[in-house]
Structure 1
Amino acid sequence: MPSRRLFLNVGVNSTGYHGNSWLAPDAAWDRFLSFDHYVEVARLAREGGFDAVFLSDHPALQRADTSRPLHSLDPIVLFTALAARVPDIGFVVTASSSYNSPYNLARRLSSMDHISGGRVIWNVVSSFNPDIAANFGSAPLPGREERYRRAEEFVSVVKQLWRSWDHDAVDTPAALGDPLWSGDSARPIDHHGEFFDVRGPLNVPLGPQGHPLIAQAGASDAGIDLAGRHADLVYAALLGKHAAREFGAQLRERAAAHDRDPETVRVLPGLVPIVADSTEEALRRHERLNGHADELSLVRAFADRHGLPFDPDGIVVPELFHSEENQQGPIGFTRSLHDLVSAEPLTLRQLARRVDGGHRLVLGTPAEVAEQILDWWRDDVVDGFTIQPPTLPHDLRTFVEQVVPLLRAEGAVTTDYPESTVRARFGLPDPVASAPTR
């Protein structure tokens, strides 16, 4: 039995990770609004021993009438309801630091953590779409640097509020006539910063796992620093083993610089699996999922999407992928492509088979997919993966039934849930007794 375990989260957005997933012939197109759909998906994930289900969020209507509806249901509302129906598994709840208030969000997430029995993970995002800004007032979207300054202060305040309570504040039932808890069981935080003034304390005591875990996905320098300072789990776009190893080293170096134990940061990049009875069938399914009849059409569309010259068998040079620290959109996807072609000489045809929707694509038979997952994990490049099934529930069911047994046979995963909280499942320490708030 390996001394470490392979962690697996799974994305459960809408009808699946792929834009055409809503067209799946074996499921209703409007299942993205069905609670029963999410119950089925979460139960499948639990059956497969997944550590947590993940829902991204984007509080603005994304008008792409040729793609699946995305980000319609509020993650906190949906996952609180799911927690009452599906035991054991964790819930990665996305909430923006740009368009929330620290006290309200700290309270809602802490409430959910109590309700779920300690199964909440907060995925911190810094909103980058001007359409989101327009839904929260007349002020324009701030620049990246300001958004990350706000995010840093926001997370710090939330953690201070969560930690404003003592561990044993409500452990012992009060005797008749005694106070419910002592006057100093919860203390004001008296925070006065650039963006927020918050007195505190929070009106919800510490929960079963202390307080929720924190996840983060930023790939810019500011994003990596935020993750190094605060994140327990890191979701990233990592396409090549060399880049993944370097990313992990950089992240843990930042964690150590912020007086954290770097070994308590778990890296779980996105991974899109296409599983079929043969490699050839998996290749054809990849083409069909993208709406193409053959490989050449798929490659041409990939080139157009990324602004690349169409030369299927020409080597793709790194200079074609350029990112700016102050660009509006996410930096991670562009950097991951640049890093991949810097480390490996890939033709356009090969590159189109290595990435789907910005994340690492693995395709083939169940054994081939399992081996590609185990390869990075065995080499200690990552702690696990965030699986993004192309269609839900079909591809998740296939993964659970055909790939998970192979991972389990290797001793990499377990389908049991001996731990009572998601913090314990990820092997992470008590949050109040360990790292400093800032």
Structure 2
Amino acid sequence: MASTIHLNLFVHGRGHHEAGWRHPSASRQPLTDIDYFASLARRAEEGKFDSVFFADYLALNDDIGHVAGAALEPITLLAALARATRHIGLIATVSTTYSEPFNIARQFASVDHISHGRAGWNIVTSWLPHASRNFGLNAPLALQDRYERAEEYVRTATQLWDSWADDAIVDDPQAGRYADLDRVGPIAHEGKHFSVNGPLNIPRSPQGWPVLVQAGSSPAGKAFAAKFAEAVFTAHLRKESAQQFYQELKTLTEQQGRKASQIVILPGLSATLGSTEHEARVLSRELNELTHFQVGLERLSNRFGGHDFTGINPDLPLSADDFPDAGAVQASQSRSKAIIELVTREHPTLRQLLHRLAGARGHFTLAGTPEQVADAILDWVDSGAADGFNVMPPVLPRQLDLFIEHVVPILQARGRFRKEYEHTTLRGHYGLDRPAGR
């Protein structure tokens, strides 16, 4: 029997295209307006999406003068959305580099209680230099150091979530007994990076732990995901790359003694939809023409650790020699490698490359009809490249509406996507086991 696909909505400003905020079909609501985000989450819930996801950045982006950004803090946002929705999973990014396990374990346990079991934590290690300077560091930690800290961080957080047994709360006013102290205990964690006694000061939440999500695709990122991740957001420009990543990560997960079914792999998909392929391509060109060249250039430079691309003629074909070694990049190595592979394969001009990346920063982009998009989704899933997709509409809310109104019904008609929610938790939506706990 063909597997049911998973769909997560990745909300990014007014759309994932760099110039999406400028398009006439984009929302004009402020990015500090909870009603904007609530309307998107409810719309995704109407479309029966598994979850909605909010990334986070710990510094003001340099391109704020030309790109809409500076939105709400994500855990606060999840708590508000938990009361605005009923079924959809709620995922937010929190860095392990610039926070402490006790606080984050407590906050995510709270959101899981508030949402009745719909919380997910996207674990990141933070590589932006200007973020490090906001937390008293002159430079970011090296990639291996970030992942070493992250591993201890997650182990500490899970110990805190397990410091209460599920049945620890007795709540017997007649006997004057609220909690069974034999079912609550310290974790007494003493490690290289953290010293945390515990226990957590909130009982175990409906899911036991929030769903653990991860997005790194470097060797260190994949090793981390195989140990801990239950869902993975990943970026691939081509199906062949996604297939290789999918098989490798499922194998690494099994080598950690885990079931391959207990890690859900969701590549990003930014689909520009039109009633005809021509209409979709026209919209894609319109968006590219609205981009700001210097913004794209600075983003590319940041992706490669500050490399200077300004001396390159923007209208001559690129080669791999125009880029630094991706293996030496301390930021997102997997994304840097994918960009160099694209250049080697297609030899776009710098201007063309920036347009390509403006659509979704290195994720799979597609302009076409609902049938073409649905076919692509099913092709990737059935070819062993994905368990579903991290849906990244280029313009919000219009392109999300089109996806829900036209792509989702095709997937449902083919028996590959739910028509109603069958579970009450995010773990249920993703088909994940609940951690056993104490």
Please give the TM-score of this superposition, normalised by the length of structure 1.
0.88
Instruction: Give structure 2 stretches of 5+ with no counterpart.
Output: 302-308
| Distance in 2, Cα, partners of 1:257 & 1:123 | 23
1:394 aligns with 2:398: yes
Look up the SS of the partner of 1:268 in the other structure.
strand
Report the equivalent of 1:408: 412
Taking structure 1 as reference, are residues 371 and 321 closer, same or farther at Cα in structure 2, changes over 3 Å only? Answer: farther
Look up the SS of the partner of 1:5 in the other structure.
coil
Report the equivalent of 1:168: 167
| Distance in 1, Cα, partners of 2:8 & 2:378 | 15
> How many aligned positions are there?
422
Report the equivalent of 1:333: 335
| Distance in 1, Cα, partners of 2:423 & 2:408 | 20
Per-residue deviation at 1:257?
2.8
Taking structure 1 as reference, are residues 406 and 309 closer, same or farther at Cα in structure 2, changes over 3 Å only? Answer: farther
Contact 1:240-1:340 at 8 Å conserved across structures: no
Provide Cα deviations, 1:172-196, integer angstroms capped at 9, x if missing partner: 5436124222212122111111110
Contact 2:233-2:266 at 8 Å conserved across structures: yes
Letter in 2 for 1:39: A
Look up the SS of the partner of 2:200 in the other structure.
coil
Report the equivalent of 1:221: 219
Provide Cα deviations, 1:76-119, integer angstroms capped at 9, x if missing partner: 11111011011100011100000110000000000110000100
Look up the SS of the partner of 1:389 in the other structure.
coil
Provide Cα deviations, 1:287-317, integer angstroms capped at 9, x if missing partner: 1112269xxx99xx89x968687788x7x86
Instruction: Map 1:416-427 to 2 at 5 A.
Output: 416-427=420-431
Taking structure 1 as reference, are residues 347 and 328 closer, same or farther at Cα in structure 2, changes over 3 Å only? Answer: closer
| Distance in 1, Cα, partners of 2:124 & 2:30 | 26
Aligned-residue sequence identity (percent) comes to: 35
| Between structures 1 and 2, the one with greater helix share | 2
| Distance in 1, Cα, partners of 2:333 & 2:52 | 24
| Distance in 2, Cα, partners of 1:137 & 1:63 | 19
Letter in 1 for 2:334: G
Instruction: Map 1:142-161 to 2 at 5 A.
Output: 142-161=141-160
Report the equivalent of 2:361: 357
Look up the SS of the partner of 2:16 in the other structure.
coil
Contact 2:27-2:397 at 8 Å conserved across structures: no
| Distance in 2, Cα, partners of 1:122 & 1:433 | 18
Letter in 2 for 1:244: A
Report the equivalent of 2:34: 35
Report the equivalent of 2:304: none
Contact 2:152-2:191 at 8 Å conserved across structures: yes
Report the equivalent of 1:192: 190
Letter in 1 for 2:333: I
Contact 2:243-2:383 at 8 Å conserved across structures: no
Contact 2:326-2:337 at 8 Å conserved across structures: no
Per-residue deviation at 1:215?
0.4
Look up the SS of the partner of 2:94 in the other structure.
strand
Letter in 1 for 2:111: M
Letter in 1 for 2:93: T
Instruction: Map 1:74-93 to 2 at 5 A.
Output: 74-93=73-92
Per-residue deviation at 1:154?
0.7
1:370 aligns with 2:369: no
Report the equivalent of 2:135: 136
Per-residue deviation at 1:15?
1.2
| Distance in 2, Cα, partners of 1:235 & 1:221 | 15
Q: Which moved more, 1:120-129 or 1:245-254?
A: 245-254
Q: Which moved more, 1:257-266 or 1:77-86?
A: 257-266
Per-residue deviation at 1:222?
0.9
Contact 1:22-1:30 at 8 Å conserved across structures: no
Letter in 1 for 2:95: S
Instruction: Map 1:65-104 to 2 at 5 A.
Output: 65-104=64-103
Per-residue deviation at 1:218?
0.6
Partner residue of 1:201 out of 182, 186, 199: 199
State the superposition RMSD in angstroms: 2.7
Provide Cα deviations, 1:37-89, integer angstroms capped at 9, x if missing partner: 11111111011111111100002111314543324210011111011011100
| Distance in 1, Cα, partners of 2:361 & 2:138 | 31
Letter in 2 for 1:274: T
Per-residue deviation at 1:26?
4.1
Per-residue deviation at 1:211?
1.4
Contact 2:166-2:437 at 8 Å conserved across structures: no
Letter in 2 for 1:327: V
Look up the SS of the partner of 1:227 in the other structure.
helix
| Distance in 2, Cα, partners of 1:263 & 1:321 | 37
Look up the SS of the partner of 1:123 in the other structure.
strand
| Distance in 2, Cα, partners of 1:179 & 1:204 | 17
Letter in 2 for 1:398: L
Per-residue deviation at 1:334?
2.0
Taking structure 1 as reference, are residues 284 and 333 closer, same or farther at Cα in structure 2, changes over 3 Å only? Answer: same
Letter in 2 for 1:276: G
Partner residue of 1:247 out of 245, 248, 255: 245
Provide Cα deviations, 1:350-381, integer angstroms capped at 9, x if missing partner: 98769742110011111111111111112232
Report the equivalent of 1:235: 233
Report the equivalent of 2:281: 283
Contact 1:33-1:73 at 8 Å conserved across structures: yes
Contact 1:57-1:71 at 8 Å conserved across structures: no
| Distance in 1, Cα, partners of 2:11 & 2:419 | 19
Q: Which moved more, 1:372-381 or 1:212-221?
A: 372-381
Letter in 1 for 2:332: P
Q: Which moved more, 1:92-101 or 1:70-79?
A: 70-79
Contact 1:322-1:338 at 8 Å conserved across structures: no
1:126 aligns with 2:125: yes
Letter in 2 for 1:146: D
| Distance in 1, Cα, partners of 2:134 & 2:220 | 25
Letter in 1 for 2:376: Q
Per-residue deviation at 1:223?
0.9
| Distance in 1, Cα, partners of 2:102 & 2:46 | 35
Contact 2:236-2:338 at 8 Å conserved across structures: yes
Provide Cα deviations, 1:324-373, integer angstroms capped at 9, x if missing partner: 4442321222223345677xx54638987697421100111111111111
